[in-house]
Amino acid sequence: MSSRVLLSLAAAIAATACAGDPASQAEPVKEDISIARFDWFEYRGDDPAFRDPPGPGGYLNPVLAGFYPDPSVTQADDGFYLVTSTFGYFPGIPVMYSRDLVNWQQVGNVIDRSGMLDFDDLGLSRGVFAPTIEYHQGTFYVANTCVDCGGNFIVTSEDPAGPWSDPVWLPEVGGIDPSLFFDTDGKVWLMNNDAPEGGSTYEGHRAIWIREIDPETFQPVSEPVMIIDGGVRPEDKPIWIEGPHIYKLDGWYYLSAAEGGTAIDHSQVVLRSKSITGPYTAHEKNPILTQRDLSADRPNPITSVGHADLVQDAAGDWWATFLGVRPYEGDHYNTGRETFLMPVAWKDGWPVITETGEEVPYSSKTRPAGFEPLTEVTPLSGNFVLREEFEGDALPLHWMTLRVPESPWWSLPDGALEIEARPVSIGSGKQPSYLGRRQQHQNAEVTTSLTFAPDRPGSEAGIAVLQNDNHFYALGLGKAADGSAIITLRRKAGGEAPEGGEEIARDMLTPYPDTSLQLRIQARGDVYDFAYRPDESDEWTTIARGLDGKPLSTRTAGGFVGATFGLYAEAMPR
């Protein structure tokens, strides 16, 4: 798998003469454009909840920290594969590989070519929602929705690292959250969320539908059947039934779905039937997973859990992957919705993930029975330090940009990342010169070394923490008309702020530094600090400290994404 991890997807850009995965080496940028050179990038995460490791026989939650929501998992011949949502980020839908359901390594991205999907002019929380992955007879299948960009589709690949096929669109299937089930009789079924028969009668009133599809064309071959209307207790007017999965065990079809919306009332419910098209009977002790019944003032809470997918480990025991969040205050969290893991107990013929009043644990002393675990993986859980030296032919696959590049604007020459300063702001709602990675800890620090000598005023390069187009901080280096260096901190926190944000702090350096400049952002829960120093200096100059981090939270900014730390270059006069 290691060769797959280091695969340069910008080679695909060159092959297709279009933009591809930003986690790759692109063609050299133009000589007449200002170029920002980043020699290294370091991420540090240190959350108190992760400081007590469980020992070799256990594991820490979340198993994928940071913005990895809506996990779906499947078992293949050589281990387990998992996909998560990426919405308007590109490349889209990371493919994660594990031998033990605990240690994960990204091996590819499903949406890695510009011709696959079009995210132009989409809000960052549109795009690809809640992918599901299945493995069947040597082929991997991902069913997904491109919200506001085409609807439901299916892609396939014999190699989970890619390339994946072009989307096969499902024009007859509305709604969101398509999911596949391969029955033992050879039939293939597709479930999805859509409006109930006769239309919704209240806000959040949805239904789960099922239909048989052709295994080659994926088009429906039967009429859709509504198998859940509203939720497991329709009389209570439940909201947002979604994310359906079907499992077959001991002659029963088990239908599991998320219910209650993806905030603090989120949950997972289960029903069963002897026939795949129902009628389905709900488990009397639903929900089988939630944290909404716990005290809101408990320490280090994990909340909003749901959107689960079940899988068996190497010993045949059942486990659930699901999303949850780790707020630092109330429902404020900047790390996005993350991927958690818990065992599934079967009681009286029903699966149970959490009992009433049971907390999802940060630390578990037992772990799944797996294949031989991966030994060399990029850390994705617990506290860690990760330094990018930009020495390979490709960036690690977790780097992303906003929307889909139309042409390459980055390269990896001589052990550095070079980014072209283009006239597109990171707050423009377009496709800026921005490469980001997820904020995975409440307490995090990112640092980089930047060399940038623009030939004209108006260009800027630096480091940013971004939640969406309307909520970010950007710490950048530019040049004034007199040749001085301008170090600027900009903020955009919604409202009527200008496209590129408002300047909230500025320092001048005269003369312009002839060495690299280091830039740093520190997250401390709900506050952020910003600093810089010349490469040869031991002392940081703080340009701003204790700035409000809540505009970077999903609760404030809205939508479904988490914050990312990124490197950017702009030539947008402000």
CATH number for the domain spanning 480: value is: 2.60.120.200
Low-confidence ranges of the chain (pLDDT < 70): 1-32, 572-574
- Catalytic: 414? no
364, 391, 411 - which closes a domain: 364
Residue 163: domain span: 66-364
Q: Which pTM was predicted?
A: 0.94
Q: Please report the pLDDT score of residue 572 as a whole number.
A: 61
Q: Would residue 202 count as lying in a domain?
A: yes
Alpha carbon 448 to its chain centroid, in Å, reads: 23
Q: Would residue 53 count as lying in a domain?
A: no
Question: Do 301 and 266 share a structural domain?
Answer: yes
Q: Please report the pLDDT score of residue 30 as a whole number.
A: 53
CATH code of the domain containing 255: 2.115.10.20
Q: Would residue 147 count as lying in a domain?
A: yes
Q: Would residue 159 count as lying in a domain?
A: yes
User: Helix, strand or coil for residue 210?
Assistant: strand
Q: How many CB atoms lie within 10 A of CB 562?
A: 24
Task: Report the half-sphere exposure of 202 (CA within 13 A, side-chain side).
Answer: 11
335, 364, 393 - which closes a domain: 364
Q: Would residue 57 count as lying in a domain?
A: no
d(CA 479, CA 459): 7
Question: Do 387 and 358 share a structural domain?
Answer: no
Catalytic residue among 112, 242, 265, 526: 242
Q: Would residue 372 count as lying in a domain?
A: no
User: Helix, strand or coil for residue 437?
Assistant: strand
Question: Do 172 and 84 share a structural domain?
Answer: yes
Question: Do 103 and 7 share a structural domain?
Answer: no
d(CA 14, CA 19): 8
336, 364, 392 - which closes a domain: 364
Question: Do 489 and 434 share a structural domain?
Answer: yes
Q: Please report the pLDDT score of residue 9 as a whole number.
A: 36
CB distance 231 to 241 below 8 Å: yes
Question: Do 77 and 19 share a structural domain?
Answer: no
- Catalytic: 70? yes
Question: Do 341 and 203 share a structural domain?
Answer: yes
Q: Would residue 375 count as lying in a domain?
A: no
Question: Do 468 and 344 share a structural domain?
Answer: no
Our count of domains for the chain comes to: 2
Task: Select from 250, 171, 254, 179 the least CA-distant residue to 209.
Answer: 179
Question: Do 205 and 271 share a structural domain?
Answer: yes
Q: Please report the pLDDT score of residue 405 as a whole number.
A: 92
What is the enclosing helix (H) or strand (E) of 63? Answer: none
Question: Do 184 and 283 share a structural domain?
Answer: yes
Q: Please report the pLDDT score of residue 56 as a whole number.
A: 82
Question: Do 136 and 84 share a structural domain?
Answer: yes
Q: How many CB atoms lie within 10 A of CB 302?
A: 21
Catalytic residue among 39, 70, 194, 388: 70
Q: Would residue 307 count as lying in a domain?
A: yes
Question: Do 87 and 25 share a structural domain?
Answer: no
- 378: Cβ contacts below 8 Å, ≥ 6 apart: 105, 106, 386, 396, 398
Q: Please report the pLDDT score of residue 457 as a whole number.
A: 81
Task: Report the half-sphere exposure of 229 (CA within 13 A, side-chain side).
Answer: 12
What is the enclosing helix (H) or strand (E) of 13? Answer: helix 10-16
Give me the amino acid identity at 283: H
**Given phi > 0 = left and psi -120 to 50 = alpha, else beta, which region is 285?**
alpha
Q: What are phi and psi of 364, to 5 degrees?
A: -120, 140
d(CA 70, CA 133): 11
